[in-house]
Structure 1
Amino acid sequence: MGIYQGLILKQTCVLCSEQANFCICDTCAQDFSSSPQRCKTCAYPITGHLDFCIPCLTNSPAFNRTYTLYDYQGAIAQLIKDFKYNQQFCIGNYFARQLYTLYQTLPTYDAILPMPLSKQRIKQRGFNQTLEFLRKIQQRTKTPIDIRSVQRIKATQPLFELTPEQRRAEIKGAFSVTSMPYKKILLVDDIITTGASLNELAITILKNTQVTHCDVMTLARAE
């Protein structure tokens, strides 16, 4: 249970049960994994002196650059699952603050578009986790967060159970888009794995609107 100390509401860390701000303590947060070097296009962890991974050099996706905070493993993976499937909204609030900090370091965009969920998935889960992660950005910036121009029209099966080739086939034709007055946009999702969903979304937007540049921001990068 939280207690007030001055004007700061203290909570219990969901990982270690020690006192914390925003339900995750600084000690646990220091252990979150984040690769020091990533492919500039898809954020895949890389080593050496290259700026891009081999898949992106040979078959670059439709989006230009990916910014991410964490590796999707260990505590980060568990926290995201607890938020998405157990509705622990204090975790979503914590990650929203971290994404806002990352967003402040990025270039400016005409609009931010969260990854849309199908109506079936919204009904099952009760909310769009990516939109929840954008709450702080929505409150503190003037950049519009557009949730209307792109819709998910195909209820795909969970992509993490599929091979990369199966993911690309499953996600094809999953989105519809209406005209939008933007040139440069930021696509946001909670996790990027192969990038199939984000790539299909970017392709759909670039082919059917005036948008000429898509970047990506995610909370975590899975391998």
Structure 2
Amino acid sequence: MHIYAFGSVCRGDVSRTSDIDLLAIVDQYDERLNPNDYSIYSYRRIREIWREGDPFAWHLASESKLLFTSDQSDFSKSLAAPAPYQRVVQDCQKFLALFMEARQSAETTTTTTTFDLSMIFLAIRNFATCFSLGLLDQADFSRRSAIKIGNHSLSIPQTAFEILERSRILCTRAIGPQINKSEADAAMKELPRIQAWMERLLEEVKSHDQRI
């Protein structure tokens, strides 16, 4: 068994709303490992995502720290670098589609607004991470990746971005004040600009993919 920490605790940007991301790599089911506390992968699956150049493999390769090893080895380091990331177009399209679905829901119903804003935040975060991994020199795996990718960053008011971020934290960790109607309206006002940003970056991704 190997156990790693990854994410904000390894980057050094932990905040009061951060959680501790833990990965357990195992040969077989282990009742000591709670799936609510660990991302649990088999050794075979980790090798597969390394060969696929999956973003999670790159995340682990660049930002994980070994906490426990049952055989004194560092399994992820023994794998060397993951394969090149090849699915940037497909993944960016997938997260744009997630954004569009959540936007439509947010604009047509008031019963799931916080959840819809949470999914919008997830979509733009993962979109920016995939974009940075596929096109930039330095991938950004942080929660705020959408506003940390230089000239490609999402440009919306900080208050609107923080409302989206709070929505995500509320839905995943039940931490923080509820999103009120005026806050939701302020965030939703920025959805056309967010969509335009995602579509513009997707065109860059497609153009880059055609050149290579």
Question: Per residue, is there more strand in 1 or in 2?
Answer: 1
Higher normalized contact order (CA 8 Å, seq sep 6+, divided by chain length): 1
Q: Tell me, yes or no, whether TM beats 0.5.
A: no
